[in-house]
Amino acid sequence: MIIDTDGGGDDCQALIALDYYIKKSGKILLGITCSNGNALVEDVVRNVLIVQKICGSNYPIYAGIDHNLAG
Protein backbone atom coordinates (compact mmCIF):
# COMPACT_ATOMS: atom_id res chain seq x y z
CA MET A 1 0.00 0.00 0.00
CA ILE A 2 1.14 3.54 -0.78
CA ILE A 3 -0.60 6.58 0.66
CA ASP A 4 -0.67 9.98 -1.03
CA THR A 5 -1.59 12.94 1.15
CA ASP A 6 -1.78 16.71 1.07
CA GLY A 7 -1.20 16.77 4.83
CA GLY A 8 -4.23 18.69 6.03
CA GLY A 9 -5.69 18.08 9.46
CA ASP A 10 -8.17 15.51 8.18
CA ASP A 11 -5.38 13.60 6.41
CA CYS A 12 -3.24 13.59 9.56
CA GLN A 13 -6.14 12.10 11.53
CA ALA A 14 -6.57 9.47 8.82
CA LEU A 15 -2.84 8.65 8.96
CA ILE A 16 -3.09 8.03 12.70
CA ALA A 17 -6.05 5.67 12.17
CA LEU A 18 -4.23 3.98 9.28
CA ASP A 19 -1.11 3.46 11.37
CA TYR A 20 -3.20 1.72 14.03
CA TYR A 21 -4.84 -0.47 11.38
CA ILE A 22 -1.51 -1.41 9.78
CA LYS A 23 0.01 -2.40 13.12
CA LYS A 24 -3.02 -4.53 14.04
CA SER A 25 -3.56 -6.16 10.63
CA GLY A 26 0.00 -6.89 9.58
CA LYS A 27 -0.49 -5.03 6.30
CA ILE A 28 2.54 -3.33 4.77
CA LEU A 29 2.77 0.39 4.04
CA LEU A 30 5.46 0.92 1.41
CA GLY A 31 5.54 4.66 1.84
CA ILE A 32 3.75 7.97 2.06
CA THR A 33 3.92 10.47 -0.78
CA CYS A 34 3.35 14.11 0.05
CA SER A 35 1.85 16.53 -2.45
CA ASN A 36 0.83 20.15 -2.58
CA GLY A 37 -2.80 20.73 -1.65
CA ASN A 38 -4.06 22.10 1.65
CA ALA A 39 -0.47 23.05 2.49
CA LEU A 40 2.87 23.50 0.79
CA VAL A 41 4.67 20.22 0.15
CA GLU A 42 7.40 21.13 2.67
CA ASP A 43 4.74 21.61 5.35
CA VAL A 44 3.05 18.36 4.35
CA VAL A 45 6.30 16.43 4.84
CA ARG A 46 6.74 18.08 8.24
CA ASN A 47 3.15 17.22 9.24
CA VAL A 48 3.61 13.57 8.22
CA LEU A 49 6.87 13.39 10.19
CA ILE A 50 5.06 14.74 13.26
CA VAL A 51 2.31 12.14 12.85
CA GLN A 52 4.91 9.39 12.58
CA LYS A 53 6.61 10.62 15.74
CA ILE A 54 3.28 10.59 17.58
CA CYS A 55 2.55 7.06 16.34
CA GLY A 56 6.07 5.73 16.86
CA SER A 57 6.27 4.72 13.20
CA ASN A 58 8.97 5.04 10.58
CA TYR A 59 7.48 4.67 7.10
CA PRO A 60 9.35 6.06 4.09
CA ILE A 61 8.18 9.56 3.21
CA TYR A 62 8.58 10.99 -0.28
CA ALA A 63 8.14 14.65 -1.17
CA GLY A 64 6.15 14.94 -4.37
CA ILE A 65 5.06 17.72 -6.65
CA ASP A 66 5.02 21.21 -5.19
CA HIS A 67 2.39 22.70 -7.51
CA ASN A 68 -0.90 21.79 -9.19
CA LEU A 69 -0.55 20.20 -12.61
CA ALA A 70 -3.73 21.78 -13.94
CA GLY A 71 -3.08 25.26 -12.60
Query: Taking a C-beta distance cutoff of 8 angstroms, is the pair 34, 45 a contact?
Result: yes
The string of pLDDT tens digits covering residues 11-22 is 999 999 999 999
Query: Taking a C-beta distance cutoff of 8 angstroms, is the pair 27, 1 a contact?
Result: yes
By CB atoms closer than 10 A (0-12, 13-18, 19+), residue 46 is middle
Across 48-58, average pLDDT: 95
Mean pLDDT of the chain, nearest integer: 91
Quick one: pLDDT band at residue 71, thresholds 50, 70, 90? low
